[in-house]
């Protein structure tokens, strides 16, 4: 027989979520309602985190159409170094980029004819690499006709590199490096990309190329309830993978269900809205203050690896949801070339959001980072500052968010470079100064292009960003 504790049977019972009224050991009618509300809220918070990479993709699609009039199977090119007017997760102003939105649910298998000189990746709707393009891909940098296959299709026609996708929608992100300052040549390389459905391969239609330039665009997923509206579009377009079925079950009582219109009632909408705010803060914490054992890149400093997850988002005994959030909260598009330790090729990324004392970087204060001489790069290095809420390049009246060795920096006598951050230019001038905004936090990415051996053995290392003044 179980012991009978009258206090437990009659309540109220103190819990983490407050007092729960009981009636002979059962929750009271009011408590049942309260517990269901809490259950749905907790599930929605976790679903917010789970959905992040797919919602980021949906937000980018929406912004391309709304702000740039770019739709499916169009090559959109930022035909110069991008500026903070283009709000995209940790965008980069040191290379020239092109993107293609793909919908195999509409078109069936899709061909992407990628020329020599384009480096990139084709990611599925959950930002898992379908295939890399360039030196790290099966084309080995020689260019190829990639054939993207939607779930359930397995054609292998001659003359194509066939690659299966787990999702109907995908995105190709390609870049071309600027050599000797020739931006036009990099743009022309990207403009040579062609895309069309396999069904049109005998007479491919001309590929539309849209040069966006510095035209403003805001691709950041909305805060609050709008986040769920975007997730509903993912449900409409994509199949349900076995790994995600529990999350679909969690969202069903809140009105989000594949194959049904998303029309939540007042109760559901309030819970989803509240969960989006808490979910955002949880995701921000996972990303900006990660508790992952592999996060810290330079021991003893605040620098962290940007990419802590495997490209397929799978570990030996679990799917990497925290690692995925660490990256996709603040960045976009995953490629194995970002983490492969290949000397003299590819690129490597680190981030920092705190000063040497462990305090969050504050836009109202002044800081300095000293980059040691002889940076270990075959190509160049760059540092870019991002707003901590939009996770996009910081936007100030200078329209300058970064410093790069590619475009000239002022060096010290020993070859080191001092980069300054703050609301006002330092007394020595503004050559290496990035303006920040009082009242806003920020973080920075340091990128190495063509990292050399000294990067990997850490015989060369960055120190912390230090407070000055």
Taking only the tens of pLDDT, the chain with its 469 residues reads 344 565 556 678 999 999 999 999 999 999 999 999 999 999 999 999 999 999 999 999 999 999 999 999 999 998 888 889 999 999 988 888 999 999 999 999 999 999 999 989 999 999 999 999 988 889 998 999 999 999 999 989 999 999 999 999 999 999 888 888 888 999 999 999 999 999 999 999 999 999 987 689 999 999 999 999 999 999 999 999 999 999 999 999 999 999 999 999 999 999 999 999 999 999 999 999 999 999 999 999 999 999 999 999 999 999 999 999 999 999 999 887 777 788 888 889 999 999 999 999 999 999 999 999 999 999 999 999 999 999 999 999 999 999 999 888 999 999 999 999 999 999 887 889 999 999 999 999 999 999 999 999 999 999 999 999 8
Nearest Cα neighbor of 58 from 189, 234, 195 is 234
**Helix 29-68 vs helix 321-328: crossing angle, to nearest 10:** 40
Q: CA-to-CA distance for 433 and 45, rounded, in angstroms?
A: 39
Q: 331: which 2 tokens?
A: 């960045």
**Inter-residue contact 250 to 44 (CB < 8 Å):** yes
- Cα–Cα distances in angstroms (integers) from residue 294 to residues 59, 306, 307, 330, 357, in the given order: 29, 11, 10, 17, 21
**Inter-residue contact 221 to 227 (CB < 8 Å):** yes
Q: Residue 346: its pLDDT value, please?
A: 81
- Cα–Cα distances in angstroms (integers) from residue 156 to residues 147, 159, 160, in the given order: 8, 9, 7
Whole-model pTM: value is 0.94
Q: 378: which 2 tokens?
A: 């075959």
Q: Residue 177: its pLDDT value, please?
A: 82
- Cα–Cα distances in angstroms (integers) from residue 326 to residues 31, 39, 292, 300, 398, in the given order: 36, 25, 9, 20, 30
Non-local CB neighbours of 287 within 8 Å, separated by 6+ positions: 325, 326, 327, 329, 330
E strands, 159-296, are 161-164, 169-176, 194-197, 208-211, 217-218
Q: 357: which 2 tokens?
A: 């004392």
Q: Residue 3: its pLDDT value, please?
A: 47
Domains and CATH numbers, the chain: 71-211 (2.60.40.1610), 304-468 (2.60.120.600)
Q: Residue 2: its pLDDT value, please?
A: 42
């Amino acid at each position: 027989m179980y012991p009978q504790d009258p206090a437990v049977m009659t309540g109220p019972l103190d819990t983490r979520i407050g007092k729960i009224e009981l009636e002979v050991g059962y929750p009271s009618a009011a408590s049942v309602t309260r517990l269901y509300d809490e259950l749905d809220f907790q599930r929605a918070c976790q679903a917010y985190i789970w959905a992040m990479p797919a919602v980021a993709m949906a937000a980018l699609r929406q912004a391309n159409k709304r702000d740039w009039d770019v739709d499916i199977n169009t090559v959109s090119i930022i035909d110069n170094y991008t500026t903070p007017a283009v709000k995209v997760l940790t965008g980069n102003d040191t290379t020239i980029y092109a993107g293609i939105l793909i919908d195999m649910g509409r078109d069936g298998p899709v061909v992407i004819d990628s020329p020599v000189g384009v480096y990139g990746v084709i990611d599925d709707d959950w930002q898992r690499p379908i295939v890399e393009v360039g030196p790290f891909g099966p084309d080995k940098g020689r260019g190829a006709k990639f054939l993207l296959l939607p779930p359930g299709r397995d054609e292998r026609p001659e003359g194509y590199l066939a690659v299966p996708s787990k999702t109907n929608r995908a995105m190709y992100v390609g870049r071309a490096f600027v050599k000797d300052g020739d931006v036009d040549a990099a743009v022309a390389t990207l403009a040579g990309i062609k895309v069309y459905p396999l069904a049109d391969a005998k007479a491919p239609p001309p590929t539309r190329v849209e040069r966006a330039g510095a035209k403003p665009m805001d691709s950041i997923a909305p805060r609050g309830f709008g986040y769920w509206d975007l997730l509903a579009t993912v449900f409409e377009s994509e199949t349900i993978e076995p790994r995600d079925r529990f999350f679909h079950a969690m969202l069903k009582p809140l009105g989000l269900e594949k194959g049904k219109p998303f029309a939540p009632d007042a109760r559901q909408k309030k819970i989803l809205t509240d969960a989006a705010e808490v979910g955002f803060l949880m995701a921000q914490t996972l990303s900006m203050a990660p508790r992952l054992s592999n996060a810290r890149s330079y021991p003893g400093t605040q620098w962290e690896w940007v990419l802590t997850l495997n490209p397929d988002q799978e570990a030996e005994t679990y799917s990497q949801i925290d690692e995925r959030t660490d990256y996709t909260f603040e960045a976009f598009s995953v490629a194995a070339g970002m983490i492969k330790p290949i000397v003299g090729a590819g690129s490597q990324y680190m981030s920092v959001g705190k000063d040497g004392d462990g305090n969050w970087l504050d836009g109202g204060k002044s800081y300095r980072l000293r980059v040691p001489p002889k940076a270990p790069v075959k190509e160049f290095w760059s540092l870019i500052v991002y707003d901590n809420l939009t996770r996009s390049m910081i936007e100030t009246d200078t329209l300058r968010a970064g410093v790069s060795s590619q475009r000239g920096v002022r060096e010290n006598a020993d070859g080191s470079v001092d980069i300054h951050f703050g609301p006002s230019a330092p007394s020595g001038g503004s050559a290496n100064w990035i303006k920040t905004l009082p009242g806003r936090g920020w973080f920075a990415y340091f990128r190495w292009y063509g990292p050399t051996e000294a990067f990997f053995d850490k015989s060369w290392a960055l120190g912390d960003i230090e407070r000055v003044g």
